[in-house]
Amino acid sequence: MIEAIIQMQHVFKTYPSQISALSDVTLEIFPGEFTFIAGPSGSGKSTLLRILYCSEKPTSGEVIVHGMHITQPGFKKIYQLRQAMGIVSQDFKLLKDRTVTENITFALEVTGHPREEAKWKALEILRHLGLEERESDSIFSLSAGEQQRVAIARALVNSPSLLLADEPTGNLDAKMTLRVMDILTDLHQKGSTIVFATQFTGLIKRYSYRVIQILNGQILDGRKADTNKIHQG
Ligand SMILES: Nc1ncnc2c1ncn2[C@@H]1O[C@H](COP(=O)(O)OP(=O)(O)OP(=O)(O)O)[C@@H](O)[C@H]1O
Ligand SMILES: [Mg+2]
């Protein structure tokens, strides 16, 4: 039997403000799946992803990612967990005072890639994302859409076997959105697992990928793709 790459069992998340962001979330995502996490603003998509990359702890419930029991008390392998994935966070989390290239090569150099190779790889992905002319610019000087593309480049430069992307095309125009989707489709076809959170139903409907629909912190249908059930809005 194939083992899930992501397992969430009865996960609840209540913020100190008493807002219940996730309520009894149970789901499994298998290696090689492309899965949209779909739901309107405030439905819990970012909370769910932040729990998967251990930037947030659930209030209760169990989460296993890449075979690591990340919710077990005393779990300390956050570095190892994040090495095994690419992350595009909704707020980009870029090093603002560094250049575009430095933001991308940083991730490679800490995993032992020689500087020249890291730079070459960074430039290649920047070319794919139409940012080659901005390679030496500081993040401060970029628009939101350009920063988002740098965040995507940083996550993809390692060809991660698991990509967690939170609204990664939210600041991009239609043409660039399609280009990013093509790059992700290519990564998926090479075998990577992709989890893509978005509130844009139009985007989801263009693809026949699995959809996990979330509303008010609850999974409505996590078993199979059925884009007809996604709420417009
Ligand atoms: N750090 C926090 N402290 C308190 N409440 C939070 C926090 N983060 C999120 N929330 C609340 O939890 C709920 C889910 O938020 P979340 O950011 O996960 O939604 P989302 O689906 O990602 O929304 P969006 O599409 O706008 O990004 C919302 O009601 C939000 O206000
Ligand atoms: Mg969000």
87-99 confidence digits (pLDDT tens) = 999 999 999 999 9
pLDDT at residue 226 in the model: 39
Sheet holding 210-215, edge to edge: 86-88, 162-166, 193-198, 34-38, 210-215, 218-221
Token output for 81: 């967990």
**Where in the chain do CATH 3.40.50.300 domains reside?**
1-85+162-168+184-228
Q: Thinking of the domain 1-85+162-168+184-228, which architecture would CATH place it in?
A: 3-Layer(aba) Sandwich (3.40)
* pLDDT, tens only, 17-62: 999 999 999 999 999 999 999 999 999 999 999 999 999 999 999 9
User: Do residues 99 and 137 touch, judged by C-beta distance below 8 A?
Assistant: yes
Establish whether residue 47 lines the binding site of ligand 1, counting it when its CB lies within 6 angstroms of any ligand atom.
Answer: yes
pLDDT band (50, 70, 90) for residue 230: very low
pTM of the model: 0.94
* Average pLDDT value for the chain: 93
Reference 151, options 170, 173, 175, 168; nearest CA is 168
* pLDDT, tens only, 163-214: 999 999 999 999 999 999 999 999 999 999 999 999 999 999 999 999 999 9
Instruction: State the closest ligand 1 atom to the C-alpha of 217, by its place in the atom list counted from 1.
Output: 14
pLDDT at residue 107 in the model: 81
Establish whether residue 128 lines the binding site of ligand 1, counting it when its CB lies within 6 angstroms of any ligand atom.
Answer: no
Pocket test for ligand 1, best of 12, 13, 43 (most atoms within 8 A of CB): 43
Reference 29, options 54, 11, 4; nearest CA is 4
